[in-house]
Structure 1
Amino acid sequence: PLSRRPGFSKTSLAASLAEAGIDYVHLKALGTPKRGRDAAKKGDVATLEAVYADQLELPEAQAQAAQMLALAAEKPSALLC
């Protein structure tokens, strides 16, 4: 949702996509937790994968994954993040 690159934070990205007729849905629970992002910055792929696998097992991540699949089925032009 946040980016140091101009135009890529969720608010400005969503606005730009809307102009192109593309919906943006932020699914926070499907993101990588800080520990995983820190591991990625260090090149520690094994830790990143383990942290993200744990994240995907959480009930809120499961619910948002189901939401993502439902959105993709009903609205193929949606951009899901």
Structure 2
Amino acid sequence: MIDVTEPQVWVLIGVFATAIFGMLTWQTISFNRALKATIDGLAARIDGRFAAVDAKLDGLDRDVQALTRHVFGTDPR
């Protein structure tokens, strides 16, 4: 039986600990990149939808102003 005091045991423990720490680091970095890409894509979609709603509201505001001028007789026509 090999004792825990043997240098080979400590080398193997160090190698396995380093390997696990390296894999954990790689997974964390990979997950963060994927999460950032997803959030950036979602932000772009939300910005696009807000721009579309703003355009519709501008059109609606223009229509309401025209109707108000027509109803209250301030229409230059």
TM-score between both structures, scaled by the size of structure 1: 0.24
* Higher strand proportion: 1
* Higher helix proportion: 2
Return the structure number with greater relative CO, CA threshold 8 A, min gap 6: 1
